[in-house]
Chain A
Amino acid sequence: MSHADTIPVRVVAVEQVTPQIKRFTLAPIAGGQLPAFSGGSHIIVVMRGAQRVFRNPYSLMSSPNELDSYQVSVLRVEASRGGSQFMHEQVRVGSELEIAHPVNLFALEKLARKHLLLAGGIGITPFMAQLHDLRLTDVPYELHYATRSPEHGAYCELISQAEPRRSRLYHDSAGKFMDIEGLLSQQLLGTHVYVCGPAGMITRVLDTARALGWPDSHVHYEKFSAPPTGDAFDVYLAKSAVAVHVLPDQSLLEAIEAAGVDAPYLCRGGVCGFCRAEVVAVDGELVHNDHFLSAEEKASGKFIMPCVSRARCSKLVLNL
């Protein structure tokens, strides 16, 4: 199944925002406007490298009210599998890319009485777009943004200028840290909390919220895992009758696509659940790296999320 009709775009601006973050502005090659989106949406950027095709999710950070172009920020990851490296090294003004339509898996809760936004590092990007939406409402909101240092904090100045009273910045280098427990223990009923940042920060927010009695329905997070690497293994796709070899630095989904099978996906980050595949047989163990399947589902061994998960085995059979 293919939902992924892509839109050809041209890079019209590239800015070095911090030593490791670049901002890309993408405009439709065909002219006109890009599809409308709401704050918190992401797009998949398709990068056609010499050896391989990369498809990475990036949050849209530009205003949902301006559709002549989209903006995404890309953090250069040290142990990059290729996607962020490709964006930083190969993509320049004039480069042509393809993007998938925006999807929102991190939407603001419309009925909230207050929004508490917690960002860490590059996790600021979805909030940049949401701030545009929030300024149009009467609902109170606060943004708390933690970075390593002012130098590594993208858009710190922009945020403190636009939101002087509703934002608070924390820099590790200055010994200032976000007091997650203090923040979560003092919120009035009807508040929703949103967190986007490093895995450790997300885990701390989720654990603290639960300990303080927050129901899960009021806690929202977005963490796109890059597909972890591992040993190579072989897969057989039972419905398509196709054998696939997964390389150590390739995701299961990428290997399936490279074999010419059109598998479903939406976020490519282990979040949305769209790519869930049924495991028919495996002669080893599944290595689950997603945030979607429940602990029971993972333990059952019946399902796998090919976008981020893999297997330690010689042969895995999927009902695809």
Chain B
Amino acid sequence: MLITGIRSKPVYAPLQPDLGGRYHLMVGHGVGAAPLARLLADLTQAAPEALARTRVWYVAEVSAPQNPLEVFRSAQVAQLRTFGEVEALLSDLTAAMTQALMGSRLYVAGPESFMGLVMRIAHQFNLNKDEVRAEECGSLARRVHCIHCRATIENVRSNIVQCGCGRWLVVRDHYSRRLAAYMGVMVDAESPGERPEIKEVFL
């Protein structure tokens, strides 16, 4: 199946502070709190003066194991904001990027779909790998783009998923940074009704 071994699948790495940067913006969602807390501790240790040029934006999740805000507060960053929804953070992020100066660094931590949506904004502003660092944690559930009807399906955990247009799609590793989604391609176009077993793979 056309599902793995495709190089467009994003690769993320554990977050580390980039001391070459001048302004630091850290954004996280849910379980992304843990990597952000670790990142803040590292930054505090390495360059405490940088905290005055550091902002932390966080989308809390009801199911989060503990309240990470205390950790963020104790780091005494220039700005700490919490959001109720990912959408609100993303729209403020776009506005902030329009104002941000060269020398800024963006750090992202959270589940797969959050990473993709933040990275899409970063790419719109021509930020490259030297300016964005991202660590994936939590759910690997994917945003899937139906290449036939062009709808986006959120939170896909299975290898095969049915789109709103009725087609059954195989979820590929082929990733679009522009759409922040994996490509879903009709699985039984050649032999209608013949579909592989559906398995939960993106957990």
Instruction: Report which A residues bind B (CB closer than 8 A).
Output: 111-113, 184-191, 210, 212-218
Decide yes or no whether B126 CB sits under 8 A from chain A.
Answer: yes
| Distance, CA A189 to CA B99, complexed state (A) | 8
Stretch from B18-26, B56-64, B83-91, B143-151 contacting the other chain:
B18-26
Q: A186-B101, A189-B101, A213-B20 are in contact. List 6 more A-B contacts (CB 8 A).
A: A187-B102, A189-B97, A191-B102, A213-B21, A213-B105, A215-B20
Q: Find out whether the CB atom of B22 lies under 8 angstroms from the CB atom of A190.
A: no
Expressed in whole angstroms, the minimum distance between the Cβ of B87 and any Cβ of chain A is 22
**Which residues of chain B come closer than 8 Å to A113, judged between CB atoms?**
125-126
> Across the two chains, which residue of chain B brings its CB closest to A186?
B101
Decide yes or no whether B152 CB sits under 8 A from chain A.
Answer: no
Decide yes or no whether B197 CB sits under 8 A from chain A.
Answer: no
**Which residues of chain B come closer than 8 Å to A215, judged between CB atoms?**
20, 128, 130-131
Q: Find out whether the CB atom of B102 lies under 8 angstroms from the CB atom of A213.
A: yes
| Distance, CA A217 to CA B130, complexed state (A) | 8
| Distance, CA A214 to CA B130, complexed state (A) | 9
Q: List 13 A-B contacts (CB under 8 A).
A: A113-B125, A189-B104, A189-B125, A189-B127, A189-B131, A190-B125, A212-B22, A213-B22, A213-B23, A213-B104, A213-B105, A215-B128, A218-B130
> Across the two chains, which residue of chain B brings its CB closest to A187?
B102
| Distance, CA A187 to CA B23, complexed state (A) | 13
Expressed in whole angstroms, the minimum distance between the Cβ of B25 and any Cβ of chain A is 10
A189/B130 contact (C-beta < 8 A), A213-B20, A213-B21 known:
no
Decide yes or no whether B193 CB sits under 8 A from chain A.
Answer: no
**Which residues of chain B come closer than 8 Å to A186, judged between CB atoms?**
101
> Across the two chains, which residue of chain B brings its CB closest to A190?
B126
**Which residues of chain A come closer than 8 Å to B97, judged between CB atoms?**
189
A189/B102 contact (C-beta < 8 A), A213-B23, A215-B20 known:
yes
How many chain-B residues does the 8 Å CB contact rule pick out?
A: 19
| Distance, CA A289 to CA B125, complexed state (A) | 36
A213/B103 contact (C-beta < 8 A), A189-B125, A190-B125 known:
yes
**Which residues of chain A come closer than 8 Å to B127, judged between CB atoms?**
189-190
| Distance, CA A185 to CA B101, complexed state (A) | 7
Interface string of B45-78 (1 = CB under 8 A from A): 0000000000000000000000000000000000
A217/B128 contact (C-beta < 8 A), A188-B102, A189-B102 known:
yes
Expressed in whole angstroms, the minimum distance between the Cβ of B95 and any Cβ of chain A is 12
> Across the two chains, which residue of chain A brings its CB closest to B129?
A217
| Distance, CA A188 to CA B98, complexed state (A) | 7
> Across the two chains, which residue of chain A brings its CB closest to B99?
A188
| Distance, CA A112 to CA B125, complexed state (A) | 8
> Across the two chains, which residue of chain A brings its CB closest to B100?
A189
Q: Find out whether the CB atom of B101 lies under 8 angstroms from the CB atom of A187.
A: yes
Expressed in whole angstroms, the minimum distance between the Cβ of A214 and any Cβ of chain B is 5
A216/B130 contact (C-beta < 8 A), A113-B125, A210-B20 known:
yes
**Which residues of chain B come closer than 8 Å to A185, judged between CB atoms?**
101, 103
> Across the two chains, which residue of chain A brings its CB closest to B19?
A213
Q: Find out whether the CB atom of B128 lies under 8 angstroms from the CB atom of A188.
A: no
**Which residues of chain A come closer than 8 Å to B100, judged between CB atoms?**
188-189
**Which residues of chain A come closer than 8 Å to B99, judged between CB atoms?**
188
Q: Find out whether the CB atom of A112 lies under 8 angstroms from the CB atom of B126.
A: yes
A212/B130 contact (C-beta < 8 A), A113-B125, A189-B97, A189-B125 known:
no
Interface string of B150-191 (1 = CB under 8 A from A): 000000000000000000000000000000000000000000
Q: Find out whether the CB atom of B128 lies under 8 angstroms from the CB atom of A212.
A: no
**Which residues of chain B come closer than 8 Å to A111, judged between CB atoms?**
126
> Across the two chains, which residue of chain A brings its CB closest to B22?
A213
Q: Find out whether the CB atom of B126 lies under 8 angstroms from the CB atom of A212.
A: no
> Across the two chains, which residue of chain A brings its CB closest to B98?
A188
Expressed in whole angstroms, the minimum distance between the Cβ of A9 and any Cβ of chain B is 38
**Which residues of chain B come closer than 8 Å to A213, judged between CB atoms?**
20-23, 102-105
A189/B128 contact (C-beta < 8 A), A210-B20, A212-B102, A213-B21 known:
no
